[in-house]
């Protein structure tokens, strides 16, 4: 749906945006609050971008597979891993269906603000299910329904998700619901420069 390379040109400034930093911090806090993490946990960050979320979580887990289609975002991440001598985050350039990701191999998958860029949501949910071990958790942080002003016209994306509908799709894919809440409300100026509020939900499901 989205031309992912649009993210290549945003990559350089991604980590300087306070709104993005705040969203990642908040999402990571929700994961820490609701998911049992340990040095055995094998995690997957889908649509990881420059690694904002996983920078908060990687010290608490065994490893994180960092999955993204934007080489530009991943290059910024590579620099951060090198500069901070981080060796438990592994980069996988591509989408969720690439065969470098083994089925039944992750204890935790999480995705922040990436699902609305995925054209076919149901196959993605089913793929998360395949990739997780039995007992594994999936956390989704994303926009509630919005009027299209969040991205403007330059991006062809889902206009947020109704969390209740997404919950039903997750359950139909085999997941059991564990936690659903409004994670935060972000403010972003619209095209007239006036701040607009965009609620984000947090969903936690578990593979039985």
> Do 139 and 31 meet the contact criterion of CB atoms below 8 Å apart?
yes
| Closest separation in Å from C-beta 66 to ligand SAM | 10
| Closest separation in Å from C-beta 49 to ligand SAM | 3
Measured from the CB atom, the residue of 20 and 125 that comes closer to ligand SAM is 20
Measured from the CB atom, the residue of 65 and 132 that comes closer to ligand SAM is 65
CA 28 to chain centre: 10
Measured from the CB atom, the residue of 11 and 40 that comes closer to ligand SAM is 11
In sequence order, what DSSP letters do the residues of 141-187 get, joined into one string?
EEEPS--STTT-TT--------HHHHHHHHHHTT-EEEEEEEEEEEE
| Closest separation in Å from C-beta 208 to ligand SAM | 26
| Closest separation in Å from C-beta 204 to ligand SAM | 17
Measured from the CB atom, the residue of 2 and 167 that comes closer to ligand SAM is 2
> Do 84 and 59 meet the contact criterion of CB atoms below 8 Å apart?
no
* Separation in Å, CA 83 to CA 13, 26, 78, 128, 140: 17, 24, 9, 31, 29
Measured from the CB atom, the residue of 133 and 151 that comes closer to ligand SAM is 151
| Closest separation in Å from C-beta 48 to ligand SAM | 6
CA 62 to chain centre: 19
Measured from the CB atom, the residue of 73 and 108 that comes closer to ligand SAM is 73
> Do 86 and 92 meet the contact criterion of CB atoms below 8 Å apart?
no
Residues at the site binding ligand SAM, with contacts judged by CB under 6 A:
2, 4, 7, 20, 23-24, 47-49, 52-53, 67-70, 73, 95-96, 112-114, 117-118
Q: What is the DSSP letter of 83?
A: H
> Do 92 and 48 meet the contact criterion of CB atoms below 8 Å apart?
no
In sequence order, the 6+-apart residues with CB closer than 8 A to the CB of 154 are 6
| Closest separation in Å from C-beta 84 to ligand SAM | 17
């Amino acid at each position: 749906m989205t031309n992912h390379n649009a993210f290549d040109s945003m990559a350089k400034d991604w980590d300087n945006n306070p709104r993005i930093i705040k969203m990642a911090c908040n999402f990571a806090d929700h994961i820490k609050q609701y998911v049992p993490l340990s040095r055995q946990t094998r995690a997957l960050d889908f649509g990881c971008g420059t690694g904002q979320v996983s920078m908060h979580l990687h010290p608490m887990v065994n490893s994180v597979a960092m999955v993204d289609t934007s080489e530009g975002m991943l290059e910024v991440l590579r620099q951060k891993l090198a500069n901070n001598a981080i060796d438990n985050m592994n980069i996988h350039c591509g989408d969720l269906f690439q065969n470098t990701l083994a089925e039944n191999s992750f204890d935790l998958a999480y995705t922040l603000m990436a699902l609305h860029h995925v054209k076919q949501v149901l196959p993605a949910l089913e793929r998360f299910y395949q990739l997780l071990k039995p007992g594994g958790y999936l956390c989704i942080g994303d926009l509630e329904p919005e009027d299209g002003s969040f991205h403007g016209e330059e991006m062809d994306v889902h206009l947020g998700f109704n969390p209740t509908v997404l919950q039903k799709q997750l359950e139909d894919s085999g997941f059991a619901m564990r936690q659903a809440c409004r994670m935060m409300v972000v403010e972003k100026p619209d095209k007239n420069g006036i701040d607009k509020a965009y609620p984000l939900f947090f969903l936690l499901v578990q593979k039985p």
